[in-house]
Amino acid sequence: MLLGVEALTLDLVFASLALGAVVGALLAAVGLPIVLQGIAALVAALLSLFLLRPIALRTLKTEGTQTNVEALLGARALVMERVDGRGGRVKIGGEIWSARVSRAGTEFSAGADLVVVTIDGATAVVDAPNAEPPAGSTGE
């Protein structure tokens, strides 16, 4: 039951309590008195909570890993259908995206290698790899 709740919270508190319960159950199986079972379960849960949990949380932490839009910024985009200011199609990491150029008046033919400048909704805004940022760009 505790591990089921842990699966929903992913905070590793209930896993520590589950470990304490397992220790208590093992001691009950060998026939130790209920007081010793309770003390051992409490000690195991507290040790797990204060010693093992911080180590496990550091190991599982994904800070610094780019996901979603952040992971696409600067990614290579291969033009599949001509891309201009009104639209087009590019392939980014194996997926086809609708796209448009970041600088007015530029266009790229199929086969051109571009980079993702930003994502606007479900549209990749792309440009040449070494292009100057568009006027008024904040560089975000």
Which residue has 């060998």 as its token pair?
30
Does residue 34 have a pLDDT over 60? yes
* Interval 99-114 mean pLDDT: 93
CA 135, 137, 138, 140 torsion-angle sign: negative
Tell me 83's DSSP state. Answer: B
Contact status, residue 12 vs residue 28, Cβ threshold 8 Å = no
Residues 6+ apart with CB under 8 A from 107: 82, 83, 84, 85, 101
Classify the C-alpha dihedral 41-42-46-47 as positive or negative: negative
Cβ atoms 110, 79 nearer than 8 A? yes
The pTM of this model reads 0.49
Is residue 88 pLDDT above 50, yes or no? Answer: yes
Local confidence band at 67 (pLDDT 50, 70, 90 cut-offs):
low
Q: Judge whether residue 107 has pLDDT over 90.
A: yes
Mean pLDDT, rounded, for 106-110: 94
Higher pLDDT, 61 or 38: 38
Map out the domains of the chain with their CATH numbers.
2-60 (no CATH), 68-127 (2.40.50.140)
Q: What is the pLDDT, as a whole number, of residue 139?
A: 44
Residue 11 pLDDT > 90: no
